[in-house]
C-alpha cells in the first residue's frame, strides 16, 4: 500500500490534496456530461454561486445566524453537562440521576423535540437553542463523568492532601486530569449540535423566521437556485471541517498532547 502511494508524494497532506482534486474532477466531469444544472450543477457553477453568496453578504449573514444560535447552545450545554458530571462525581444520587438521564435521552434525536420546542418557546431562536442544548449536554456529560471516574486514585489523594475537596477538587484536579475525555465529549457534542442545527433549520426555519444556513439551503432549492443549494452544502461541510481539524486539533495539541496525556 505504502509503496504504491510513495510515488504520489511523501506527505499525508499531499495525498489528501490529490484525493480532493480527484473528487473535484469527477464532480466537474460528471455534471458537465449530465448537463442538467437543475439536478446537479457543475463544480465551477457551485463555486461561482458560493463566491457570489459570500461577496453579496448573504452567506456570511446566514452563517452568522447559525453560529450565534449554536455557540449560545454549545456554551450553555457544556456548562450544564459539567455541572451534571460534577454532581455525579460528588454524590451517589448525582451518579444515578446522570446515568438514568443519559440512558433515556441519548437515543432521542434533538430534532424530534423540535415540534414541542416550538410550542414551548414560541417562534424564534429559543426553540433551536433548547434542542441544541439537548444535543450537546448528554455526550459531554457522559464523557466528562467517565473521565472524572477514570482519574487515577493517586491524583485524588494528592488533591486531598492539599486540603482540596468538593468543587475545588473537581475544578483543580478532576477537570484537567479528565481533559482527554472531556475533549472527546466536546467534539461529539459539537458534531451532534452542528448536524441537529442544520437539520432543524431545514425543516423548521420558516416557522421560526430565523434563516440560518439550513434554511438558506432549503430556500434556495424552492427557488430552484440549485448552485446555491450546493454552495450551502459545501459551506456546511467546510465549517464542520474547520471546527474539527483546525479548532479542536489546536486545542488537542496545546493541551492533552502537550501534557503527554494522549499520543
Partner 1 sequence: MLDVDAVILRYETQDRVITAIDRVSIAVGPGERVVLLGPSGCGKTTLLKAIAGFITPAAGSISLHGAPIRGAGPDRIMIFQEFDQLLPWKTVEANIAFPLRATSRCGAAEATSRATEYVGKLGLTGFARAYPHQLSGGMKQRVALARALAMKPDILLMDEPFGALDALTRETMQDELMRLWDELRFTLVLVTHSIEEALAIGDRVAVFTAHPGRIKAEIAGGVRAVDAEFPALLRRVRELLAEDQPPA
Q: How far apart are CB 186 and partner 1 at their closest, in Å?
A: 16
Nearest CB to partner 1, comparing residues 104 and 158 = 158
Q: How far apart are CB 153 and partner 1 at their closest, in Å?
A: 9
Distance from C-alpha of 94 to C-alpha of 204, rounded to nearest angstrom: 35
Distance from C-alpha of 253 to C-alpha of 58, rounded to nearest angstrom: 34
**Which residue in 168, 207, 224, 246 binds partner 1 (CB under 8 A)?**
168
Nearest CB to partner 1, comparing residues 6 and 160 = 160
Nearest CB to partner 1, comparing residues 159 and 227 = 159
Contact 102, 108 (CB under 8 A): no
DSSP 8-state code for residue 210: -
Distance from C-alpha of 62 to C-alpha of 77, rounded to nearest angstrom: 22
Distance from C-alpha of 123 to C-alpha of 128, rounded to nearest angstrom: 10
* Per-residue contact flags (x/-) with partner 1 for residues 229 to 258, judged by CB under 8 A: --------------------------x--x
Structural element, H or E, at residue 66: helix 58-90
Say whether residue 157 binds partner 1 (CB under 8 A).
Answer: yes
Residues that bind partner 1 (CB under 8 A): 152, 154-155, 157-158, 160-164, 168, 172-173, 176-177, 179, 255, 258-261
Amino acid at each position: 500500500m505504502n509503496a504504491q502511494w510513495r510515488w504520489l508524494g511523501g506527505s499525508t497532506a499531499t495525498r489528501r490534496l490529490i484525493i480532493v482534486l480527484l473528487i473535484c474532477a469527477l464532480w466537474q466531469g460528471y455534471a458537465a456530461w449530465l448537463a442538467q444544472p437543475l439536478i446537479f450543477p457543475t463544480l465551477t457553477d457551485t463555486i461561482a454561486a458560493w463566491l457570489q453568496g459570500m461577496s453579496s453578504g448573504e452567506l456570511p449573514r446566514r452563517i452568522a445566524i447559525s453560529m450565534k444560535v449554536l455557540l449560545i447552545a454549545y456554551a450553555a450545554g457544556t456548562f450544564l453537562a459539567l455541572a451534571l458530571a460534577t454532581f455525579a462525581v460528588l454524590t451517589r444520587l448525582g451518579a444515578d440521576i446522570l446515568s438514568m438521564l443519559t440512558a433515556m435521552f441519548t437515543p432521542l434525536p434533538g430534532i424530534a423535540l423540535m415540534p414541542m420546542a416550538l410550542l414551548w418557546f414560541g417562534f424564534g431562536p429559543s426553540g433551536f437553542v433548547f434542542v441544541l442544548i439537548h444535543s450537546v449536554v448528554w455526550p459531554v456529560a457522559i464523557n466528562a463523568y467517565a473521565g472524572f471516574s477514570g482519574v487515577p486514585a493517586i491524583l485524588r489523594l494528592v488533591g486531598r492532601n492539599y486540603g482540596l475537596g468538593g468543587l475545588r477538587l473537581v475544578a483543580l484536579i478532576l477537570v484537567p486530569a479528565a481533559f482527554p475525555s472531556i475533549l472527546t465529549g466536546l467534539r461529539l457534542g459539537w458534531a451532534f449540535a452542528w448536524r441537529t442545527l442544520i437539520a432543524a433549520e431545514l425543516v423548521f426555519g420558516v416557522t421560526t423566521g430565523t434563516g440560518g444556513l439550513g434554511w438558506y439551503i432549503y430556500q434556495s432549492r424552492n427557488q430552484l437556485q440549485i448552485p446555491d443549494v450546493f454552495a450551502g452544502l459545501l459551506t456546511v461541510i467546510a465549517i464542520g471541517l474547520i471546527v474539527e481539524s483546525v479548532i479542536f486539533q489546536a486545542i488537542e495539541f496545546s493541551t492533552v498532547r502537550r501534557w503527554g496525556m494522549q499520543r
